[in-house]
Chains A and B, each alone.
Chain A
Amino acid sequence: MAKLKGRGYASVNYPTGMNLGGDPSQALIHSTTTGTFVVSLSSVDLGQGLKTVVAQCAAEVLGLPFENILIDTADTDTGPHCMGTFASRGTHRVGNAVIMAAAEAREVMLAVAADELEVDPGDLETDGTGFIAVKGAEEKRIHITDLALAAHFKHGRTISGRGIFLKEQSTVVPETGEMDPDSCQAHACTVAVVEVDDETGVVEVLEMHNAYEIGRALNPAMVTQQVEGGAWMGMSHALFEATEPYYPARDHGPADFTEYLMPGPADIARQYSVILERPADNGPFGAKGIGEMTANAPIPAIANAIFDACGVRVETMPFTPERVLRDLDALKGTT
């Protein structure tokens, strides 16, 4: 009886967005009277961080502090249309739409600033701290709060912009089956190191090495966390999660999600993550989608590591102790 160590790897290519009847998302942006830019979306942030990332996109294009951006995803009935947050498309689609909307709003912002400062809009620049200033004469400047007030109450202007990103529907070429369903693809590889207890069948994941090529990482901390949280979910799919009972009687199965097995803090692997940045030409500042793919490669990597450790080819998820032991027995010819 021994604990057998093994290492396995797996790779994944993952599309950003999908075909549907075209894959659009819209964004509208407007300035309040005091210079907060409200980005209206129907896209949902369910914890993945969409609000943070698209606020970064808006702030970057407007040349204003991140704190000046307010993302409003309140209502899909009244907001501009979004196909949805799925297919790892949010950052790419919504980010592009927000960039387009913010660019239009920036143009109005600079035009109003030009009127206020009595200069040509082409001579103006934003400094990222909230001021719009004349290039080379930074003392001639106006703060966005004063500018927004002036736009409303003096010039009668709305500082606003519209944006949409549309990936048009791609039809299939009948002869070849060719189509162009997505916008770009992210790539990743996971190496898993596991230990298999050949007496109990328990598989423990010791290490996960994650390498991700995702275009540009708009928010590297969130990217790393998505990679590691996703790897944890992959490990969960591989070793724990099932609605069916592990053992023959149905009442051994989970009755609800509180009994649904997933790894806890004591089951975590050491994770090592590397992000490679090769900007996609159609991505917002080069970003590709990094969502669902993070749970994919860990599963076959763990299966391959189990094979490396003990020669067993597990084929049904989750790789429970019972399944590993049955396969081990079959391998040894003891059943």
Chain B
Amino acid sequence: MSSVVSNVRPPLVTGSKTYHQITEDICSPTEQLPGKGWVLCLLCTLGLLGFGTLAVFFTIWFGIGTWNLNRTIGWGWDITNFVWWVGIGHAGTLISAILLIFRQKWRTGVNRAAEAMTIFAVICAAFFPGIHMGRMWMAFFVFPYPNTRGPLWVNFNSPLLWDVFAISTYFTVSLLFWYTGLVPDFATIRDRAKGFRKRIYNFLSMGWTGSAKHWQRWESLSLVLAGLATPLVLSVHTIVSFDFATSVIPGWHTTIFPPYFVAGAIFSGFAMVQTLMLITRVILKLEDYITVEHIESMNKVIVLTGSIVGVAYLTELFVAWYSGYIYEQYAFYNRAMGPYWWSYAAMMTCNVISPQFFWFRKIRRSIVWTFVLSIVVNIGMWFERFVIIATTLAKDYIPSNWSYYSPSWVEIGLYLFTFGLFGTLYLIFMRVAPVVACAEIKAILKSSGDQYCGPAFAEKTGKINSGLHHDDHGSHEVLHSETVQSDLASSDKSTLAETADDTDVLTEEKNVEDFKEDINFDDGKNDEE
């Protein structure tokens, strides 16, 4: 819990929650039978999974000849989908790690679900290079283990192998980070559960007690993991971009790729978080925890990263022209004007134009706009990868090789398979784990709950002050951000105690006074973090 309590920043937890209410709201979805909506969603995702499984078997049985890849276009939907899913995964780590380091409290509302999304998205991503190997049961060949072939080691100089290390590290670290955060919340569910459920959550919560020393270590661990995950998340998509950037293909070997890919990944990741959270908050009735403030904050990230992506597209075009290198120039001409012009147009419209709507506050705070645009952005980001991969390969150095590619039903089936897998995993996650980080929300309640902060609180406090102590504090009608804190600090404690009494958290006058002293006017001494 931070000592900084803002009286002007809008609250992140609304509905004047008490600690117990937070537990109830967040844990109760795991304790009830699922609703019709959930079952319907699950049936849909299982349907996709079923159809996708057919495509998987088809691929494995007949080989990747069932795909429409050809000698010129060796990477099609498979690698497009791989990069797309990896990109989507990035928002989770960004929210949980980078925003933790930047002390963005709004992360607490969405970090759990976003991290889960990361893990499921990385599973979906890893599926594609796996199945592209043809004999995916030989996938362990990519790891450097002592083998009977020499031992012949893998090529440590290859960006594809770097990718193996990057993705597997990313998955492992994200999983550990996510699970460590879940342990205290599983303990909360455990202590509310009975019978068989209690035994399950007892197992999952690893014997968590909430001891002060454990919390101290837990926080230390979270912080260092966040510190590790921050460069990691940047490195992962950098390395994915190396898959292209270290090649000799015009349109791929550009130095701008790493930052451009990372920005694009965060862009699409946040869009996917929006899509999921907007549905989740309604189904699980979490509107008090995932507020419009959260949605707006994420939309700000989307407009920022979307603009970076837009600038990157234009830079690419400029550099291709400026390089004077005809193959590079032709690659970009081909992207925009060639047979795949429609995918380039879709990419430009969805990724460059659509996020610009978020400059308008009204649109940023509109649920419908956000939902629609978040889907548009993800369509655009899929097209970006398709443009980079398939359209670039389609016209290589030798015109007699030039080719065209559209996916077979098997390739479409594999993409649907990952949708089914992702959806099923996410739906199960929604039922068995707290979708919002319960303990972390409690920890920010005193600094971000609507009964403690925000313009409404400032106004309320001001009114009480001016009403009761008009002689001393006559200027409370208008509260400016700079003056609120000092006004409150100088006002009578008993006045403030009344405000605190409204929250029903405290009963004793003495404690109320101390509480105010510690919470609102803490000089930061107590705040270790």
Q: Do A and B bind each other?
A: no
